[in-house]
Amino acid sequence: MPDSPAQDRTAGADAPAKILVVDDATVVRLYYGQTLAAEGYAMAEAINGQEGIERALCERFDLCVVDVNMPVMDGYAFVRALRAEPATAATPVLMTSTQSGDVDRRLAVEAGANFYLVKPVQPAALAATVAAMIGRRPAPQEGSSA
Amino acid sequence: MSIRRDGDGILLEGVCPIEDAEAMLRHAQEGAGFVDWSGCTHLHAACLQVLLSSGLALRGTPASPLLAQWLVPMLPVASTQLSEA
Amino acid sequence: MNELLASFVTEARDLLAEAAEDLLALERTPDDEAAINRLFRSVHTLKGSSGLFDVAPLTRILHAAEDMFQAVREQGVALSAEMVDVALRTLDQTGLWIDALERNQTLPDTAAAASQTLAATLRAAFGSVATGGAAATAASPDTAPEAGAAAELLACFDATLRRVLSRESGSFRLITYEPDEACFFKGEDPLHLALQIPGMAALASTARSPWQTPDALDPFMCNLRFHALSRAGHDTLEALFRYVPEQVTILDIPAAALLHAIPAGAAPATPAANPLTGELLSAQLALLDAPAPEAERAGRWAAAADVARHVLQADGHNAAAASVAAAHAEAEAACLPGRLRSAIADVLANLAAVVPALAAAPAMPGRDAQARPAAEPPERTAPRTLRIDQEKIDQMMNLVGELIVAKNSLPFLARRAEQQFGQRELGREIQDQYSVIDRIAQELQGSVMAVRMMPMGQVFQRFPRLVRDLARKLGKQVELVIEGEQTEADKNVIETLFDPLLHMVRNCLDHAVEPPAERIALGKPETAIVKLAARQDSDQVVIEIIDDGRGLDPEKLKRKAYERGLIDEDRMAAMSDHEARMLIFAAGFSTAATISDVSGRGVGMDVVRNAVEKAGGRVALSSELGRGTTVRLNLPLSMAVTRVMTVTLHERLFGIPMDLIRETVRVPAADILRIKSSEAFLLRDRVVPLLRLASLLEMTEPEAAGDDVAVLVVRVGGQTIGLGITAFGEGMEVILKPLAGMLAALGGYAGTALLGDGRVLLVLDLKELIAT
């Protein structure tokens, strides 16, 4: 069990880790996308939870970065649906929102998110958090190409 | 008196009120080289301004833990050195 | 403009439009839950996105608006008309600032001050009805805007702060306290206050303006600014600064973000683990502790285990990572998350003891053996719609126009090959190629035109707001009904429409709609209905403005026109009711007894008619006294390309807009009727006046003494007229360019177009020519 396929997607595999950004704000998707693509991740986007689930079901992601407030299906519902679906249940989720209260943090965790960042997320903080959650070493140590 | 001139230095003791700022500034203009604040328990913000702007070197660690914890890192000059410039 | 900002500008405009719509919907139907939710989300999203840019004033007002809508949504605060007014003002201001951002990439200098005022007004607007509205604006958790600037602020903290932070998780409040310059005279001691900050993790001070030399220093003028990091909550901090809320800002910053923002400085003295590691591990514990429905449990454990393992690996704690993985396997097998939980908790507790050197060994064995299946190439979701800058479309349209003109040169070439060089074959081949290029060019043109099509809603959506404001101003009750907003027309047409529509709607509210009392007295419903409707009718778009107001009184209109000297007594007597109603479109006619500031300074409906006709459209009107009026505009769907017919007049070529031409006939000279100095001819038993184009253009060339006259039957200003010319040319599509410079002053020309052979075609404005 410790050697589940999931384990392969950890530190420093050669294919880029795939990240799904679920946010209704184009500008936020673009911002996260630019920041993370610059770090060498493969990016995908969805504009709400519903679309996010559909994407996650047909493609395996190493991490989902999810907004809380979205039309159609919000971030909480997205994580719940993700966790309830065997194919996607173990996907790590980083939730981001402009709400900074402790209650919001708690709600995110209760919904099943692995971590919570308050928007606006600084590029460095986003990159560092994503790298840690995906299991990638900080850039300098990482062999840039195998 | 919470402030007095002692040779080359300025001695701060107890609670230093706003008036001390002017005295400290005067001492600084008259050639005082350092401030010994080991006996100081509180410092008015005006005094802090003089410390920050005058470049007076500091000696000792203030008696108040609050000052020691927060003001020592804020003031640029190491507590035992004399500023030469 | 940078891509991110450009994207923000576009998105912001969409959100603003939606927000305005929802706001008005909400005012009509206060319990419209969907509308308040959408409204809140629009403003919330906008505020969130704005935080990515250096636009604090913008973010501040959006934040205040968001708070207002939240109060409406969650605290049942009733949305008053005053609240709607100020909220609309906020949206307007936001729109203006978005425009400024697009132009200058920055907000105007006045923004900060305007933002303060507006935010305060907003908060006052709902604070006066809400209970907890006293929240000081300056001290409110205005997190988003300044957080970008926070990195700069944080630079003032000592680098040793990293060490402090590395032991912390959760979020901090970054407090900036800028005491009043004269505070010492009020007996304040800002340092004393700063030192009272609960849960303080760091304190720094900066000088507001550079320190003076001791000689020049005024020790009693406060030049200090304090920056502090605190673990305490907003409420506690706000309570501390309750007497000086305007001097304090408090921001939320997660510890992780802080670490990245603070200058690295020297490496921490002790080899502490990456603070983010601890924070992430704590979060996984929280996730395991959170109650979860049965179906989601396994997923949560797996995700938590995965993240914990990754985090440890990323930080170099491979052994710990392995133990977490093992614990997860056990936990899963035994269905006991406790195992996993305690494994993570242990790791967390021991983190400080983990010597990173140990973990510096190569990555876990077996990793290479289990090479992951060849990964698919990174894939990007294709956006379903593409946002394109209008300028790019215009540029495309211009290029298509040039292509069409260039293409038109081929028939000339074919003719030359044939006639001048006697190459019939070549001429025919060129003609064939021309047909191919012509077809492609037309399809291309069609495609570009389709891209330029915009829904009527683009224009209509501005009216609910307008009607609301106007009605409020005039003390009338009006319900605006909009139909067919999805009807599409060319962007130019849509843009041309706004002003005429605006004018008509204003007129309608000002003059046609009765005050509520009058309506009741007349037995009408108190609230008037004004309808804006659009529909497509073959290649035209039809727009109607329908009201149930007073209706036009033909007698009154005739009298007014007479008084104004627009018609004489005979004409007044002979005029039909319909003709009388059409008088409102006459130049210099205004029915309002006094000029109101609503309908503008006596600009009549003639302006509307001119604008519509300039765009190739028509205006029609029907009205019933006491029942209401309907104004109908017919406009071409597209006006980028004009179809013209070329005509020859004494060897000179002119273009005449095709849509005016009814037919072409040849009239034998003998059949021309002469009545005094006028000419006419019979067309299917109707007498049609005949005008010679040469005399309209004041050309002095002698009339050709031919057997018959080439006559273009045109319909201008509701009249059928025969236009005598020398010879008919061909029909073609041209891109009409308005006359510029000195030529612009010349009446009678609609514009010029470039022909395929390089000649310039003058296109006539028949209406103007015939009227003069």
pLDDT, tens only, C97-106: 999 988 888 8
Whether residues A120 and C144 touch (CB distance < 8 A) is answered with yes
A124/C contact by beta carbon, under 8 A = yes
Inform me whether the pLDDT recorded for C147 exceeds 60.
no
Return the residue in A8, A10, A41 with the most chain C beta carbons within 10 A, the one to mutate for interface testing.
A10
Q: Check: CATH 1.10.3720.10 for C459-636?
A: no
- Please, are residues C621 and C631 in contact by the beta-carbon 8 Å criterion? yes
> Does residue A113 belong to any structural domain of this protein?
yes
The more confidently predicted of residues A32 and A136 is: A32
Composition of chain C by helix, strand, coil, percent to 5: 50, 20, 30
Return the residue in A64, A79, A98, A119 with the most chain C beta carbons within 10 A, the one to mutate for interface testing.
A98
Whether residues A133 and C380 touch (CB distance < 8 A) is answered with no
The more confidently predicted of residues C532 and A119 is: C532
> Does residue A99 belong to any structural domain of this protein?
yes
The domains of chain C are located at 3-134, 145-261, 275-359, 390-454, 459-636, 642-771
Chain C residue numbers touching B44 (CB-CB < 8 A) = 189, 191-192
Least confident of C584-588, C676-680, C712-716: C584-588
- Please, are residues C713 and C720 in contact by the beta-carbon 8 Å criterion? yes
Return the residue in C311, C315, C341 with the most chain A beta carbons within 10 A, the one to mutate for interface testing.
C311
> Does residue A96 belong to any structural domain of this protein?
yes
Tokens coding C689: 């006046």
Q: Which chains touch B (3 or more CB pairs under 8 A)?
A: C
What per-residue string of b and e applies to B25-37 under the rule 16 or more CB within 10 Å gives b? bebbeeebbbbbb
- Please, are residues C326 and C340 in contact by the beta-carbon 8 Å criterion? no
Neighbours of C138 (CB within 10 A): 18
**Fold (topology level) of B3-74:** Transcription Regulator spoIIAA (3.30.750)
> Does residue A5 belong to any structural domain of this protein?
no
Q: What's the complex ipTM?
A: 0.90
> Least CB-CB distance to C283: which of A10, A11, A109?
A109
| pLDDT tens sequence across C283-313 | 888 888 888 888 888 888 889 988 988 888 8
Chain B residue numbers touching C190 (CB-CB < 8 A) = 45
Q: Is there an interface between C and A (3+ Cβ pairs < 8 A)?
A: yes
Local confidence band at A130 (pLDDT 50, 70, 90 cut-offs): very high
Predicted TM-score (pTM) of the model is 0.41
> Least CB-CB distance to C311: which of A90, A121, A132?
A132
The more confidently predicted of residues C316 and C590 is: C316
Least confident of C20-34, C314-328, C506-520: C314-328
Mean pLDDT of chain C: 78
Taking residues C540-566, report their average pLDDT.
Answer: 88
Q: What span, in angstroms and rounded, lies between the C-alpha atoms of B21 and B51?
A: 9
Inform me whether the pLDDT recorded for C267 exceeds 50.
no
Bridge partners, A43 (sequence order)? A19
Local confidence band at C266 (pLDDT 50, 70, 90 cut-offs): very low
Query: What is the three-class DSSP state of C305?
Result: helix
Local confidence band at C545 (pLDDT 50, 70, 90 cut-offs): very high
Least confident of C117-131, C223-237, C341-355: C341-355
- Please, are residues C649 and C699 in contact by the beta-carbon 8 Å criterion? yes
Q: What span, in angstroms and rounded, lies between the C-alpha atoms of C587 and A120?
A: 57
C-alpha distance from C380 to closest chain A C-alpha (Å): 5
- Please, are residues B45 and B37 in contact by the beta-carbon 8 Å criterion? no
Chain B residue numbers touching C192 (CB-CB < 8 A) = 42, 44-45
> Least CB-CB distance to C192: which of B22, B42, B54?
B42
The domains of chain B are located at 3-74
The pLDDT of residue C14: 87
The pLDDT of residue C311: 86
Provide, rounded to the nearest whole percent, the portion of chain C with pLDDT above 90: 10
The pLDDT of residue C485: 86
| pLDDT tens sequence across C380-436 | 333 346 667 777 877 787 788 778 777 877 888 888 888 888 888 888 888 888 888
The pLDDT of residue C599: 47
User: Domain residues for A66?
Assistant: 17-138
Q: What span, in angstroms and rounded, lies between the C-alpha atoms of C212 and B52?
A: 11
> Least CB-CB distance to B48: which of C191, C204, C217?
C191
Local confidence band at C523 (pLDDT 50, 70, 90 cut-offs): very high
| pLDDT tens sequence across C459-498 | 888 788 888 888 888 889 999 999 998 888 888 788 778 8
Q: What span, in angstroms and rounded, lies between the C-alpha atoms of B83 and B85?
A: 6
Return the residue in C296, C344, C367, C368 with the most chain A beta carbons within 10 A, the one to mutate for interface testing.
C296
> Least CB-CB distance to B52: which of C184, C205, C215?
C205
Chain B residue numbers touching C209 (CB-CB < 8 A) = none
Q: Check: CATH 3.40.50.800 for C3-134?
A: no
- Please, are residues C51 and C145 in contact by the beta-carbon 8 Å criterion? yes
Inform me whether the pLDDT recorded for C559 exceeds 80.
yes
Least confident of C3-7, C145-149, C440-444, C582-586: C145-149
- Please, are residues C21 and C468 in contact by the beta-carbon 8 Å criterion? no
> Does residue A145 belong to any structural domain of this protein?
no
Q: Is there an interface between A and B (3+ Cβ pairs < 8 A)?
A: no
The pLDDT of residue C699: 76
Inform me whether the pLDDT recorded for A92 exceeds 70.
yes
Long-range contacts of C304-309 (CB under 8 A, 24+ apart): C304/A114, C304/C340, C304/C344, C305/C331, C305/C340, C306/A6, C306/A90, C306/A92, C307/A92, C307/A114, C307/A115, C307/A133, C307/C280, C307/C283, C308/C280, C308/C281, C308/C284, C308/C344, C308/C347, C309/A10, C309/A135
Whether residues B70 and C200 touch (CB distance < 8 A) is answered with yes
CA distance to A130, C50, C162, C227, per residue, from B2 (Å): 55, 51, 36, 28
> Least CB-CB distance to B46: which of C158, C207, C219?
C219
Q: What span, in angstroms and rounded, lies between the C-alpha atoms of C194 and C244?
A: 12
Contacts of C387 (CB under 8 A, 6+ apart): C10
The more confidently predicted of residues C735 and B47 is: B47
Taking residues C358-386, report their average pLDDT.
Answer: 37
Angle at CA C85, nearest 5°, toward C79 and C89? 130
> Does residue A114 belong to any structural domain of this protein?
yes
Local confidence band at C169 (pLDDT 50, 70, 90 cut-offs): low
Tokens coding C609: 């008619």
Angle at CA C534, nearest 5°, toward C531 and C540? 145
| pLDDT tens sequence across C608-653 | 887 787 777 788 889 998 899 999 998 887 765 677 888 888 878 8
Whether residues A120 and C48 touch (CB distance < 8 A) is answered with yes
Local confidence band at C154 (pLDDT 50, 70, 90 cut-offs): low
CATH code for the domain defined by C642-771: 2.40.50.180
A81/C contact by beta carbon, under 8 A = no
Mean pLDDT of chain B: 79
Whether residues B25 and C222 touch (CB distance < 8 A) is answered with no
> Least CB-CB distance to C302: which of A25, A31, A90?
A90
Whether residues C184 and B18 touch (CB distance < 8 A) is answered with yes
* Count of domains for chain A: 1
Q: Which chains touch C (3 or more CB pairs under 8 A)?
A: A, B
The pLDDT of residue C98: 92
| pLDDT tens sequence across C239-265 | 888 888 778 877 766 665 565 555 444
Neighbours of C696 (CB within 10 A): 17
Whether residues A30 and C4 touch (CB distance < 8 A) is answered with yes
Whether residues A114 and C322 touch (CB distance < 8 A) is answered with no
* Closest residue in B to C161 (Cα–Cα): B73
